[in-house]
Structure 1
């Protein structure tokens, strides 16, 4: 009888562990994350280059895009080989001017494997996203 009670307790505990928490948030896809970042913004005409020196930060959206912020403008680049993008990679960009341009390449290095080379990305046009009424 004791064994039956222990088995029942273990089974109910296992069932509780297997049920996801009501508070657990579903993992967003790269496209969903990008859409959330761009909420309230409108796309402008794509440009070939952005002023790299004025870039305030870079966000890697897994398997989707590179997002650069310049002032109040967000520039989205959907590079070739975007399926290789991982926010755990170290991005290495060799610049030959003060701008980051279409056709520049970005090397990917694995942060967890001794910075081993992990592929590359070919940049495409940068699409600016601004809030309506914003001149910047």
Structure 2
């Protein structure tokens, strides 16, 4: 079952009001796409790009044009306004809900490295939530 973008945006998250700039950026990225059902994991080797969306979400772009949006279950407010995900979890084949992420800010400062299997370098952390796919119409 596909949901319209406005319906998903309205119901997406109670934290939406905390970072309106991030929500606006996310809506621009997803313009014209339709949301699918959330999934717990995505295949790591299929991810062609990851980007942080202004303390709101992490966007995972796939080769077929699908975009997965992950709103971290914890720590989204610690994500930089812009950034590149440098480390994700500890599972080599999949990126899953409850994994922790490391994000580098522009200029290369590492925010955190921590996997669900115990690897940890001190710093802020964000724990991934479910992955919501967005498909082109």
TM-score range, shorter-chain basis?
0.5 to 0.7
Pairing partner for 1:78 from 56, 71, 84: 71
Other-structure match for 1:62: 54
- Could you state the TM-score of these two structures normalised by the residue count of structure 1? 0.67
Give the length in aligned residue pairs: 105
Q: 1:53 to 1:39 in 2, by over 3 A?
A: same
- Could you state the TM-score of these two structures normalised by the residue count of structure 2? 0.67
Higher Rg: 1
Pairing partner for 1:128 from 130, 133, 136: 133
Stretches of structure 2 lacking an aligned partner (at least 5 in a row): 1-19, 113-122
Cα distance in 2 for residues equivalent to 1:113 and 1:69:
21
Stretches of structure 1 lacking an aligned partner (at least 5 in a row): 1-27
Pairing partner for 1:92 from 83, 87, 93: 87
| Structure 2 contact 52–59 (Cα < 8 Å) conserved | yes
| Residue aligned with 1:127, SS | strand
| Residue aligned with 1:100, SS | strand
Structure 1 stretches of at least 4 aligned residues deviating more than 6 Å after TM superposition: none
Could you say what the CA RMSD is over the residues aligned between the two structures, in angstroms?
Answer: 2.3
